[in-house]
Amino acid sequence: MSEHLAQRAAALDAADELAGARKLFALDDAVYLDGNSLGALPAHVPDRVADVVRRQWGELRIRSWDESGWWTAPERIGDRIASLVGAAPGQIVVGDSTSVNVFKAVVGAVRLQDDPARTDVLVDATTFPTDGYIAESAARMTGRRIVPVDPADLVSVIGPSTAAVLLNHVDYRSGRLHDLPALTAAIHDAGALAVWDLCHSAGALPVGLDEHGVDLAVGCTYKYLNGGPGSPAYIYVAERHQAAFDSPLPGWNSHTDPFAMTPGFEPADGAVRGRVGTPDILSMLALEASLDVWDGVSVDAVRAKSLALTDFFLECVETYVPQGRVTCLTPGKHAERGSQIALRCEDAPRVMRELITRGVIGDLRRPDVLRFGFTPLYVGFADVERAARVLSEVLAEA
């Protein structure tokens, strides 16, 4: 049976329209299934970063703010990300961390409402912990109440007291994909604003921010966008909200005339209102270089391959792994699946350590979840078959 699956994997790789993208990354012989935590390094980025350091910073020095385009990088790179998440130009600005941008977005959404009767901020009860911490703090600071809610129960909970809702597009632990179009519509039907966290979906599947009327969104760039460890995050402010968007972190970079250095704050037009302080140029330009791997790539093709990879992984696991040794937490339905597979497993910490020792790199969510992220630009079907086979070997030894 293993020979049959290996042959199928080879045939699938031979027919893969995205297979050529793998050579754009600096990879070794390991099976890297942790791109949902840190994307692999695009091979050309070190030389680009070296130019930023040696020539732009080392030779041009302060002139690079103009001559090398440093000053406009947050908007320029934001427009490149916009094309990957279904947004028109001028609505995304890059900078700060995801956590900081969640704070801007939640407070900004409450201020856009400007309605004291809307007392509640709803937050995904299964959210990545920091999103919950930030949302709770934002609610306190705006005099609102935080209400944790399971996304499956949102429609029954949301109502006239809801100001804003913060949801994850894909659950970080299970890989469940939430229905962004339907949930956004339900939020709007209740008169509230929708804030989406795209950390586990941008670069892995179509998002459609403009098409589905999302109000605000945030996301990181170091997972499926391969921007590098700690690369700057981004915030999306829909064009219809930009004139009224009141950021809780006004800084000189978001001033309409930043170099006037006036004591009073006058917000700039457009998405620039999402900026705060001096951009982190080295990591930002590394991110810009990383986005080159997306040139000519269709997000729809990425999504199709992602589903094929995860389907094949589940088939291989079912074939190789003895029944009852792992339980899949990720939904089987394509419409409910992101680009990762989460398996509950007894003795998961030991299993993941041994997998990594044998060249299959996934990650662990304590106490008992093995996570495997599938980045279609550089993960192939032979990788998938090998990962499942090694997993079965490790479990057999246990």
Q: What stretches in the chain show pLDDT beneath 70?
A: 1, 398
* Reported pTM: 0.97
The per-residue pLDDT for 231 is 98
Task: Choose, from 172, 222, 312, 381, the residue flagged as catalytic.
Answer: 222
pLDDT score for 2:
74
Torsion of CA 386, 389, 393, 394, to 10 degrees: 70
- CA atoms of 381 and 91, how far apart (whole Å): 36
Query: What local confidence, expressed as pLDDT, does residue 3 receive?
Result: 86
For residue 235, with 0-12 CB atoms within 10 Å meaning exposed, 13-18 middle and 19 or more buried, which class applies? buried
Cross-strand pairs, 371 = 342, 363
Q: What is the pLDDT of residue 203?
A: 98
For the question of residue 259 being annotated catalytic, the response is no
List 118, 144, 176, 223, catalytic entry: 223
CA distance 388 to 394: 10
- Secondary-structure class of domain 2-43+297-397 per CATH: alpha beta
Does 25 qualify as catalytic in the annotation?
no
> What is the Cα Rg of the chain in Å?
22
Rounded to whole angstroms, the Cα distance separating 187 from 189 reads 5
Considering the candidates 80, 176, 371, 389, report the single residue annotated as catalytic.
Answer: 371
- Tell me the two tokens of residue 83: 């094309």
The helix (H) or strand (E) run that includes residue 74 is: helix 73-85
CB 117 within 8 A of CB 144: no
Q: Is residue 128 annotated as part of the catalytic site, yes or no?
A: yes
Q: What is the pLDDT of residue 307?
A: 98
Interatomic CA distance for residues 332 and 319, integer angstroms: 16
Every domain range in the chain assigned CATH 3.40.640.10? 71-294
Beta bridge partners of 168: 197
Alpha carbons within 13 angstroms on the beta-carbon side of residue 313 total 28
Residue among 16, 124, 171, 197 flagged as catalytic: 197
Residue 341 has a pLDDT of: 98
Given the residues 32, 103, 128, 381, select the one marked as catalytic.
128
> How many angstroms separate the first and last alpha carbons of the chain?
22
**3-class SS of residue 323:** coil
Give per-residue pLDDT as tens, 259-315.
999 999 999 999 999 999 999 999 999 999 999 999 999 999 999 999 999 999 999
Measured in degrees and rounded to the nearest 5, phi and psi for residue 255 equal -80, 145
Query: What pLDDT, on a 0 to 100 scale, did the predictor assign at position 316?
Result: 98
Residues carrying CATH 3.90.1150.10, the chain: 2-43+297-397
CATH placement of domain 71-294: 3.40.640.10
